Amino acid sequence: MSLLCPIDFRYGRPKMKSIFEEEARLQRLLEVEAALARAEAKVGLVPREAAAEITKKATTKQVTVRRVEELERQTRHDLMAVVLALTEACSGDAGKYVHLGATSNDIQDSATALQIRDAIRVLDEDLAGLIDALADLAMKHKKTIMLGRTHGQAAVPITFGLKMAVFASEVARQRERLREVGPRIVVGKMSGAVGTGAAFGPRAMDIQSAAMSDLGIGTEEAATQVVGRDRHAEFIGVVAN
């Protein structure tokens, strides 16, 4: 009997699983690689034709999970396997411009931001539905008497509607919290191995800004190799609440 982890898809709904499944993760990684190529093309670091070819091939129909797995067994590096698979999928000399100047976490952390953004959208939709359901119950049972409690002991009567109104209010506040932290959480980077952007040259900041804008996510204010993990910790904390 193999060990199972609750977050490794034993539990969960199809809508949320579809965001974090292996092929979806690969697609997000490819999208970030394509955004990088387009950003570099804007500043003349990559030929526009090469960026267009990279973008065209940056799909899981062209770069399959199976091929990435084969390359990972050879390279023993997950992101390098993605880079090699995308490189070999590109025609002409476009492949040599894949991942130019980037470090693994430029791609991985930005892809994670895209996944978290999608997850927040699902949660926001779910919370909206829950608030509506609780509000309906509050109105329906505004005169339904039930036993009130204090310190776990029976107290004076309240209504079931009041109880549901309390829950609706709590969930509404939690939805507000999730929306409020979104901009701090959905953040990526494109600043190289130690955060200086040296491998991108003098237009490094422009490349990072263009890539993050293209992806529709925020930009890490200051980073070394990775996006600040306090952002991910905050997301986990808000969701756990």
CA distances from 178 to 125, 181, 182, 205, 212 (A): 11, 5, 6, 29, 21
Residue 122 in tokens: 């699902």
CA distances from 231 to 22, 35, 187, 208 (A): 23, 22, 8, 19
- C-alpha 7/C-alpha 155 separation (Å) is 41
What are the structural domains, with CATH classification, of the chain?
13-100 (1.10.275.10)
pLDDT at 103 over 80: yes
- C-alpha 215/C-alpha 208 separation (Å) is 11
95-121 mean pLDDT: 98
Residue range 26-70, pLDDT digits in tens: 999 999 999 999 999 999 999 999 999 999 999 999 999 999 999
Percent of the chain exceeding pLDDT 90 equals 92
Q: What is the 3-state secondary structure (H, E, C) of the chain?
A: CCCCCHHHHHCCCHHHHHHHCHHHHHHHHHHHHHHHHHHHHHCCCCCHHHHHHHHHHCCCCCCCHHHHHHHHHHHCCHHHHHHHHHHHHCCCCHHHHCCCCCCHHHHHHHHHHHHHHHHHHHHHHHHHHHHHHHHHHHHHCCCCEEEEEECCEEEEEEEHHHHHHHHHHHHHHHHHHHHHHHHHHCEECCCCCCCCCHHHHHHHHHHHHHHHHHHCCEECCCCCCCCCHHHHHHHHHHHHC
Instruction: Give just the sign of the alpha carbon dihedral 76, 77, 82, 84.
Output: negative
- C-alpha 231/C-alpha 110 separation (Å) is 12
pLDDT at 1 over 50: no
Whole-angstrom Cα Rg for the chain = 23
- C-alpha 26/C-alpha 30 separation (Å) is 6
pLDDT at 79 over 50: yes
pLDDT at 8 over 70: no
Cβ neighbours of residue 163 under 8 Å, at least 6 residues apart? 146
Q: What is the reported pLDDT for 66?
A: 97
